[in-house]
Amino acid sequence: MKEKSIQFLFKYGAIALLAVIIIYFSTVSPSFLTYGNFSDILRSISIVTVLALGVTFTLVVNGFDLSVGSTMSLSTVVTASLMVWYDMPLWLVIILPILVGAAVGLFNTFLIVVIGIPDLLATLSSMYIIAGLHRTYTEGYSIYNHMPLTSGGTAIGELSDAFLWIGQGQLAGLPVPVWIMLLLILISYLILNHTRWGRVLYMTGGNEEAATLSGVKVKKVKCAAYVVSGIFASIAGILFTARVGSGQIDAGAPLLMEAVAAVFVGYSVLGAGKPNAVGTFFGAAVIGILLNGLTILNLPYYAFDIVKGSVLVLALAVTYVYAKNRMSSSGG
Amino acid sequence: MQTNHILEMAGIHKKFGRVNALTDASFTLKNGEVHALLGANGAGKSTLMKILSGLYKQDDGDLFIDGEKVSFNHPKDAKENGVYCVYQEVDTAIVPELSTAENIMLDTFASGKNIWVSKRKLEEKAKEVLFALQAGHINVRKQALELTLAEKQLVLIARALVHSAKLIIFDEPTAPLSVFEAERLFKVMNQLKDQGVGCIFITHRLPEVFEVCDTVTVMRDGKHVFFAKVEETNQEQLVEKMLGTSFENVIERREKKLGEQLIECTNLKEGRKLNGINFAVHKGEIIGVAGLVGAGKTELAKTIAGVTPASSGTIKIKGKKVTIYHPQAAIEQGVVLVPEERRKEGLFIHESLRKNATFPNLKKFSKASFIRKNEETNFALKMIGALQIKTNSTETTLNHLSGGNQQKVAIGKWMSVDASIYLFDEPTKGVDIGAKKDIFKLIADLANEGKGVIYFSSEIHELLAICDRILVMYDGQVVKEFSHEEATQEKILLYASGGKEEQNEREKHPVLI
């Protein structure tokens, strides 16, 4: 009986929790269960979700990317500077930051695969390096339209309307960033769960040695995961720039831990027990909906982290209690 | 020999969920005897021993130590009653960063009342115990991680002796040891016997029972089925008792049909582990590679399979020179390895049978990179049928399968790549006797299909049973080659330990290829 209830909790716990939260908030506040509010919630989680998807990929290969926050910050200022300082065309403004993100992924790969620093420590180091790099790049200033330059005069360009549409526009009743998020979730889900590449990523994460002996080039696989992570962080940065309309420095730093939490909450969705794309979205959604509801209830913002932490603990507890039970029942 | 019972376990029942692990199991041990406990995997030996060492609590039944009824709720209770265990996985009981002395005295200072630990006293006491075990050569200041496996076992035995153990459980201690190291362990066991310590010895290697044990108990299906003095029984009888049926020749001799040459290695070198290896394998041939631990068997297997690429020398496959720089290159050439540490290197233990089975050749099971689960399931079902794997479904995760069935998956997964050369590194390690038979048959079938098989093993009797030719390795070289007819256990052991039959033997019969 106890085992069954744990199994049920593990499988449907996160979804049940989400349902309970939604029902509760809709009974206490009429403005909660409205189309507008849900579209708001989705928009508010879109950037974190994109960032978290990248982290999901690195966790799948049993790595960990702590540098995504900094990479997002770097991408934010690079995107803004390309338009404001250099007045570049839109396609370059989108391609270049993505390339920068990929380069960060390659740098992480170099530290982890070539030098052999453990993932967590390597990306911790690159997190600092990249954070410092992006502040140095802007000399510590945020970037906005026609900003005064340290070299004298004002910047030549501004963020174009076409670009701002990416972050602020609407398409078929939903904000554009939500569409982008949904598209990336779908792509990640298909790759991770239904393609050869996804299988190779998961198996490499499960047992590197066995994967090598099965003919997998583990180094390349890890490299791919970190490059994907860097690219997703860059996309999050581009979305952020377009949403805010300027290139804020340190934009990504506060989002790092939220993204990581979303991935781990996602472990417990539908009994996956491992990082997965849909779970990550659910994780971000649970946190997003909870915060939205609490805001409506006028909970002070400084208490929000308590809620976030508690959700994370709950999800992790379910995942690990289940894993422990499964281990002990298979032994003996 | 004294006749008082140091241990008596009677009417022990234990259930895991709905599975009866032990039903009315019993076991007795006298003072100063070495008592073998045998049984196929799943017979309940480990469960019984875990109850004895306080890891599990029996559902029903009684435990008597020295005639007194005891109840163990925790391993500590067992230790207080003088019951110690030398686990198969010694590393789980050793703290690698601590010194040998600290490891030996671990229980003392972990639970002692004194907060100050005198290093000098610790080392003195440790030395004393090691000396009593005739293992005075071990430096007590050495970090435990520098010790060999055999030395770590001695440390565990020493740890038990510090507390004047009454009985020590040896859970498959010889599995990872070389022949020499095992011999040394037997000496230690004999010595313990003389000191009046009772030893319970669990092993899959039957000859060892006759070498070191006084009495033997066989378990099957969670019950005690047989007890005898070692002098009064023989291997055939024990096997029969373990399996419940008589066990005909483990493997029938195949008719040998040699085909074209599949692989030829010339002067293969790798680091300091391989010093110029030459040999060739033909279609339909099973080549055995014998050697003690450290002779370079595993290294040779890994070099051919591309895990540790050769630093020099050539490998020709079907007459064509190839470079194998990564397992992927080896697999492309049809060379596949079933590694020694199957849980660690061969399988994805937390993944399903289906995912394991198809992993080496996912391309075959996918279209435009999308995996087709139906085709995967079909292949997994085919494999389950062909290899007679005991499993509930294709989605069962491998940690729920027995060692033998896991090994079958580790072999069967290569069916998807149509390999032509199979390397088996200690394929029967930790596999019970029933599954062993299946695995032998599987390997013989592969050879009959025209595959080339290289069988690396330190179990010489297995090599003698299954191989057409046996290469003996010593110190990174092939020092001798025997045909099936010539080979005997003694000859192989002699060459494997660096000896020669006659001084000029090698000039008379130079080692060919």
Q: What is the CATH number of the domain that holds B459?
A: 3.40.50.300
CB contact under 8 A, A214 and B345: no
For A214, nearest residue in chain B (alpha carbons): B360
Between residues A270 and B319, which one has the greater pLDDT? B319
Res A227: pLDDT: 97
Residue B276 covered by a domain = yes
Domain count, chain A: 1
Task: Work out the pLDDT band at B115, boundaries 50, 70, 90.
Answer: low
Q: Are residues B50 and B103 in the same domain?
A: yes
Q: Is the pLDDT of residue B502 over 70?
A: no
Q: Are residues B183 and B281 in the same domain?
A: no
Instruction: Tell me the two tokens of residue A48.
Output: 């974190």
Res B501: pLDDT: 57
Q: Are residues B238 and B268 in the same domain?
A: no
Phi, psi of A147 (to 5 degrees): -70, 150
For A212, nearest residue in chain B (alpha carbons): B327
Q: Is the pLDDT of residue B1 over 70?
A: no
Containing domain of residue B472, as a range? 261-348+419-508
* A92-96, A269-273, B45-49: the lowest-pLDDT one: A269-273
**For position A22, which CATH number holds?**
1.10.3470
Q: Of A221-235, B12-26, B496-510, give the range with the top mean pLDDT.
A: A221-235
Query: What's the whole-number mean pLDDT along residues A207-212?
Result: 92
The Cα A279–Cα A53 span in angstroms is: 10
Q: What is the mean pLDDT of chain B?
A: 83
Query: What's the whole-number mean pLDDT along residues A63-89?
Result: 92
Task: Work out the pLDDT band at B378, boundaries 50, 70, 90.
Answer: very high
Res B99: pLDDT: 86
Q: Is the pLDDT of residue B261 over 70?
A: yes
Residue B361 covered by a domain = no
Residue B360 covered by a domain = no
Chain B residues 384-403 within an 8 A CB cutoff of chain A: 397, 399-400
> Do B52 and B83 form a contact (C-beta atoms < 8 A)?
yes
Q: Is the pLDDT of residue B512 over 80?
A: no
Q: Is the pLDDT of residue B249 over 60?
A: no
Q: Of A110-114, A308-312, B162-166, B384-388, give the range with the top mean pLDDT.
A: A110-114
In which region does residue B427 sit, left (phi positive, over 0), alpha (psi from -120 to 50) or beta (all else)?
Answer: alpha
Q: Of A91-95, B77-81, B233-237, give the range with the top mean pLDDT.
A: A91-95
CB contact under 8 A, A214 and B400: no
Res B123: pLDDT: 83
For A216, nearest residue in chain B (alpha carbons): B328
Distances (CA, A) of B400 to A188, A331, B171, B205, B393: 30, 8, 21, 25, 11
The Cα B70–Cα B81 span in angstroms is: 9
Residue B362 covered by a domain = no
Strands B335-338 and B421-425: parallel
Residue with tokens 């971000």: A284
Residue B226 covered by a domain = yes
Among A196, A209, A214, select the one facing B344 at the smallest CB separation: A209
Among B348, B363, B370, select the one facing A210 at the smallest CB separation: B348
* List of chain B residues whose C-beta atoms are within 8 Å of the C-beta of residue A215: 326-328, 330-332, 360
Residue B445 covered by a domain = yes
Kindly report the length of chain B: 513
Task: Work out the pLDDT band at A179, boundaries 50, 70, 90.
Answer: very high
Task: Provide, rounded to the nearest whole percent, the portion of chain B with pLDDT above 90.
Answer: 13
CB contact under 8 A, B349 and A207: yes
Q: Are residues B136 and B224 in the same domain?
A: yes
> Do B424 and B446 form a contact (C-beta atoms < 8 A)?
no
Res B42: pLDDT: 66
Q: Are residues B128 and B277 in the same domain?
A: no
Q: Are residues B314 and B456 in the same domain?
A: yes
Containing domain of residue A100, as a range? 2-330
Dihedral sign for Cα atoms in the order B197, B198, B204, B210: positive
* A303-307, B17-21, B357-361, B453-457: the lowest-pLDDT one: B17-21
Domain count, chain B: 2
Q: Are residues B198 and B287 in the same domain?
A: no
Q: Are residues B318 and B217 in the same domain?
A: no
Q: Is the pLDDT of residue A28 over 70?
A: yes
Q: What is the mean pLDDT of chain A?
A: 88
3-state DSSP helix/strand/coil percent for chain A, to nearest 5?
A: 75, 5, 20
Q: Are residues B326 and B191 in the same domain?
A: no
Q: Are residues B85 and B231 in the same domain?
A: yes
Q: Are residues B288 and B140 in the same domain?
A: no
Residue B413 covered by a domain = no
Between residues A317 and B287, which one has the greater pLDDT? B287
CB contact under 8 A, A330 and B326: no
Tell which of B335, B369, B422 to mutate to test the A interface (max A CBs under 10 Å).
B369
Q: Is the pLDDT of residue A86 over 50?
A: yes
Query: What's the whole-number mean pLDDT along residues B192-212?
Result: 85
For B416, nearest residue in chain A (alpha carbons): A214
The Cα A19–Cα A4 span in angstroms is: 21
Tell which of A2, A214, A220 to mutate to test the B interface (max B CBs under 10 Å).
A214
The Cα B234–Cα B230 span in angstroms is: 8
Among B331, B345, B351, select the one facing A206 at the smallest CB separation: B351
For A200, nearest residue in chain B (alpha carbons): B359
Tell which of B49, B336, B348 to mutate to test the A interface (max A CBs under 10 Å).
B348
The Cα A109–Cα A104 span in angstroms is: 9
Residue A328: CB atoms within 10 A of its CB come to 10
Q: Is the pLDDT of residue B368 over 90?
A: no
Between residues A92 and B40, which one has the greater pLDDT? A92
B411 in A contact zone (CB under 8 Å): no
**For residue range B221-247, what is the model confidence (pLDDT) as tens digits?**
788 888 888 888 887 788 777 776 554
What are the residues facing B27 on neighbouring strands?
Answer: B9
Distances (CA, A) of A132 to A111, A124, B74, B507: 18, 13, 54, 71
What are the residues facing B274 on neighbouring strands?
Answer: B270
Instruction: Tell me the two tokens of residue B357.
Output: 């089975």
Q: Is the pLDDT of residue A13 over 80?
A: no
Task: Work out the pLDDT band at B503, boundaries 50, 70, 90.
Answer: very low
Res A158: pLDDT: 83
Among B187, B217, B243, the domain boundary falls at B243
Res B245: pLDDT: 58
DSSP string, B329-381: HHHHTTEEEE-S-IIIII--TTSBHHHHHHGGGGGGGEETTEE-HHHHHHHHH
Among B243, B274, B299, the domain boundary falls at B243
Dihedral sign for Cα atoms in the order A91, A94, A100, A104: negative
Residue B251 covered by a domain = no
Q: Are residues B78 and B185 in the same domain?
A: yes
